[in-house]
Structure 1
């Protein structure tokens, strides 16, 4: 019997080519689209056109499945998405932290709810159009994740949270290709989405205006506060903690005679601290909520030289990772890094581009 695989269909070129590749490899393929978010405001709905949460993307996914003659289903996870992703997104900003909703979506929606749905349908695997490599390493006795061939499109950073059980049932057919190759393949396969633009911003935020989105959802007025410099002097009023993130320069509304940046946020005191560019540098960080991939973990007190990514688009930095307790690591950079941001993920790699693990940044270690 053919092995059965459910492909998470977003209506874009990557998931569409994923479905074709797996069908051509002999799998029995089922396409499923998650309906995650639809605003009450028709204008807001219109501004979501093209994103993976939009209605037109569901229709694109359906048409692709029809052209491939494979079954198509749509599942409604709007309630779960609102609670597990959007609510988390809002609360993190209110705490003065910067969330990563794509990681939350992967953890809760794709590799929990949708994977369970795939297994319930009798499938052996869930496949997605992420750019990453995955295989079973006999030497380690573990499934591993490796950066994609196309380093500009690599998505290993947002997948560090996958467990061994989830990796056992997951396929990533695109990890060995470059995005230009995928578009050419989509054109050769006759897929109408071959030239569809990539989704760039957060799928549920119209026009990338997260501030208005948070304002609309907030049950209480967002409290204003004061900007301070690093010496404790008041510089002016700010609009509210959720509107700022570490390293931010634009939108501060301050004229100080020098380039000003957000260097710290204190949500309890409603303070945003402003400084110069060199004051945004950090020599390390602490991270919690750890997940290990290529290794089972470290012993408490053990250290390891690693390559470190503190945001999705950042180049890996060299540093040392020290396990302080079973769920807290200390990272010290070889050279100071700019704008370490609590709430974001930090992911650790070895010299061979394997994902060792990762966690959530909780504290910065200032220079």
Structure 2
């Protein structure tokens, strides 16, 4: 009882369900083996919730690298946390699904000249589609993750918002959540700063309290191009590097080695700095040009997902990378189904096809889509 009161007073945890006390609430916690999801599980267990830990094995341990998640050591860490805190824990093998819907999508995107975000695809498919089904099959009330984002509910309306700790906010990676999924999802760490989460890990005497945060893409063992080459050897195909007028400046060893906005590693010499302006996958060409060619205001997005659809010409804020602080923009419908036109108030550098355009209204995530190659 002392633990419950102390944690509630210090960290102000609200009940996950308004009409159920913790002891009557069954919770599935998605545990990656990291500090955040481990703390979320330990905290809820100590608050009296019926916690079930679930870890998805997404790829073989031999493919894992230091700082990754959901394989090898991380699965062991998740299991060890569950044993020490004393709640049930299950490991589910989703390697085939992950390979098909995340890894292969990642490879195909690069082969088409795009710069993908596999973490969003993973959330969109394996974690929130498949794991939510597991949650329902187990008869649980909610699915909890360790994301730094907030789910706010008021007068029957549910909103997805940025986390309190802006340096750790992960709402950008959650834009593809549907309204139906948001009903079952909970993000208790969204009200915390990372320092508080570390403090809680020590408070609960978790062995992973000092474990570093996962970095980069979990299944990329060396670098992007080497990983893609290993999976799809046919992606290594020589082609031309051309300027904006189509003049040949050099040769490349595969478009998978390039992203829009790239300056270093082009393998050509020129009198002025050149950047990758466009990747023409069909022609197997990399187009380079001066920096001003990467400044643009208008682009299109596809595969739209709206938690709250913006009104025509309504001013919103968009983030075009997870590290982007945001730009003011307006969004317009197009004649093509499930596509929209985004017009920024100011030019932005290096808008990359395959990245996500996440739309905010203040701190609220209202949806977004995937950036198209204009």
TM-score normalized by the length of structure 2 = 0.91
2:348 is equivalent to residue 331 of structure 1: no
Moved more, 64-73 or 186-195: 186-195
1:184 corresponds in structure 2 to 199
Q: Give the drift of 1:222.
A: 2.2
User: Residue by residue, what CA displacement relative to the aligned partner does 1:322-362 show, whole Å, maximum 9, x if unpaired?
Assistant: 12255111111111001111111101111x21011101111
Q: Distance in 2 between matches of 1:344 and 1:203?
A: 18
Q: Helix, strand or coil for the counterpart of 2:98? A: helix
1:193 corresponds in structure 2 to 208
Q: 1:122 aligns with which of 139, 162, 169?
A: 139
Q: Give the drift of 1:230.
A: 1.4
2:3 corresponds in structure 1 to none
Q: How does 1:53-64 map to 2 (within 5 A)?
A: 53-64=70-81
1:358 corresponds in structure 2 to 368
User: Residue by residue, what CA displacement relative to the aligned partner does 1:160-212 show, whole Å, maximum 9, x if unpaired?
Assistant: 111111111111000011111111111122111111011111000003x1111
Q: Give the drift of 1:219.
A: 5.2
Whether the 8 Å CA contact 1:226–1:270 is kept in 2: the answer is yes
Q: Helix, strand or coil for the counterpart of 1:129? A: coil
Q: Distance in 2 between matches of 1:194 and 1:256?
A: 50
Q: Give the drift of 1:142.
A: 3.4
2:329 is equivalent to residue 319 of structure 1: yes
Whether the 8 Å CA contact 1:131–1:154 is kept in 2: the answer is yes
Structure 2, unaligned runs of 5 or more: 1-22
Q: Helix, strand or coil for the counterpart of 2:282? A: coil
Q: Helix, strand or coil for the counterpart of 1:320? A: strand
Moved more, 243-252 or 66-75: 243-252
User: Residue by residue, what CA displacement relative to the aligned partner does 1:206-234 show, whole Å, maximum 9, x if unpaired?
Assistant: 03x11111111115352211111112221
2:316 corresponds in structure 1 to 306
2:246 is equivalent to residue 232 of structure 1: yes
Whether the 8 Å CA contact 2:55–2:78 is kept in 1: the answer is yes
2:153 is equivalent to residue 136 of structure 1: yes
1:158 corresponds in structure 2 to 173
2:187 is equivalent to residue 172 of structure 1: yes
Whether the 8 Å CA contact 2:241–2:287 is kept in 1: the answer is yes
Corresponding pairs, count: 351
Q: How does 1:283-298 map to 2 (within 5 A)?
A: 283-293=297-307, 295=308, 297-298=309-310
2:10 corresponds in structure 1 to none
Whether the 8 Å CA contact 2:28–2:51 is kept in 1: the answer is yes
Q: Helix, strand or coil for the counterpart of 2:190? A: coil
Moved more, 254-263 or 14-23: 254-263
Q: 1:148 aligns with which of 153, 158, 163?
A: 163
Whether the 8 Å CA contact 1:49–1:56 is kept in 2: the answer is no
2:82 corresponds in structure 1 to 65
Q: Give the drift of 1:258.
A: 2.5
Q: Helix, strand or coil for the counterpart of 1:167? A: helix
Moved more, 238-247 or 62-71: 238-247
Q: Distance in 1 between matches of 2:287 and 2:157?
A: 44
1:287 to 1:137, Cα distance in 2 relative to 1, 3 A: farther
Q: Give the drift of 1:257.
A: 3.0
Whether the 8 Å CA contact 2:228–2:235 is kept in 1: the answer is no
Q: 1:111 aligns with which of 128, 136, 151?
A: 128
1:102 corresponds in structure 2 to 119
Whether the 8 Å CA contact 1:265–1:273 is kept in 2: the answer is yes
2:216 is equivalent to residue 205 of structure 1: no
1:60 to 1:236, Cα distance in 2 relative to 1, 3 A: same
Tell me how large the CA RMSD over aligned residues is: 1.5
Whether the 8 Å CA contact 1:303–1:321 is kept in 2: the answer is yes
Q: Helix, strand or coil for the counterpart of 1:183? A: helix
TM-score normalized by the length of structure 1 = 0.92
